[in-house]
């Protein structure tokens, strides 16, 4: 397209045609790029690419390598819940405020809603589904929360459990104040904080 082609009245058919062709080609190439991004690399051993970022990646969740198609800006919470079906990780605020999405990355508690899945490749991810023993028995923290009647509605419970597990992994004998601080990033709308703290202290006695 050149300046000489410009025709404010739209009577220059050669320009109109070329403009229409231009729009068609943009739409067509956009579709082609989208389709290509879904198809490229679907064969064994190759990654799906979007904008130079490999999408088909492996992440280690609860001791297993999981192959999953991950968008560049996708959060770990969405990958876990929507792609891997691990809905024990809850989404509350989805912006790093409530702690409902707490999981462990290399044993450190993090908010899955504020973590990009691409950033945890090669790391060890643990969700609440990964805490049970192979025989199905509950993790001591889970059992202690049951025994202390910790949850009310239960929405915040998985996040509380994960923070408590992370604490006891590094400090098996916490004071109640240390437990309170470790769980301070986990909000509970039901106000069951004391029940959860009782659970942490009971688990500490029993692990």
Where do contacts with ligand FES occur on this chain (CB under 6 A)? 91-94, 96-101, 111, 113, 151-156, 188-190, 192
CB of 33 to ligand FES, least distance (A): 32
CB of 192 to ligand FES, least distance (A): 5
CB of 22 to ligand FES, least distance (A): 44
CB of 95 to ligand FES, least distance (A): 6
Q: Which is nearer to ligand FES, 48 or 115 (CB)?
A: 115
Residue 66's φ and ψ, nearest 5 degrees, are -115, 125
Beta-carbon contacts of residue 69 (< 8 Å; ≥ 6 apart): 48, 55, 56, 83
CB of 196 to ligand FES, least distance (A): 8
Return the exposure string of 47-86: e unless at least 16 CB atoms fall within 10 Å of the residue's CB, then b: bbebeeeebbbebebbeeebebbbbeebbbbbbbbebbeb
Q: Which is nearer to ligand FES, 86 or 113 (CB)?
A: 113
Q: Which is nearer to ligand FES, 55 or 118 (CB)?
A: 118
Q: Which of 79, 80, 82, 62 is nearest to 71 (CA)?
A: 79
Q: Which is nearer to ligand FES, 37 or 152 (CB)?
A: 152
Q: Which is nearer to ligand FES, 21 or 147 (CB)?
A: 147
Residue 57's φ and ψ, nearest 5 degrees, are -125, 170
Tokens of 203: 């688990």
């Amino acid at each position: 397209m050149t300046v000489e082609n410009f025709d404010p009245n739209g009577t220059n058919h050669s320009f109109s045609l070329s403009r229409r062709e231009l729009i068609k080609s943009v739409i067509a190439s956009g579709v082609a790029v989208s389709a290509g991004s879904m198809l490229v690399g679907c064969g064994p051993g190759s990654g799906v690419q979007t904008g130079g970022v490999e999408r088909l990646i492996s992440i280690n969740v609860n001791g297993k390598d999981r192959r999953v198609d991950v968008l560049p800006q996708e959060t770990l919470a969405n990958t876990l819940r929507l792609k891997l079906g691990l809905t024990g990780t809850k989404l509350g605020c989805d912006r790093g405020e409530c702690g409902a999405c707490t999981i462990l990355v290399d044993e450190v508690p993090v908010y899955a809603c504020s973590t990009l899945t691409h950033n945890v490749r090669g790391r060890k991810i643990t969700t609440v589904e990964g805490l049970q023993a192979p025989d199905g028995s509950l993790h001591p923290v889970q059992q202690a929360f049951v025994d202390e009647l910790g949850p009310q509605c239960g929405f915040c419970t998985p996040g509380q459990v994960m923070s408590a597990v992370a604490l006891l992994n590094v400090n098996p004998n916490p004071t109640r104040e240390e437990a309170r601080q470790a769980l301070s990033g986990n909000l509970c709308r039901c106000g069951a904080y004391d029940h959860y703290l009782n659970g942490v202290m009971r688990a500490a006695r029993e692990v």
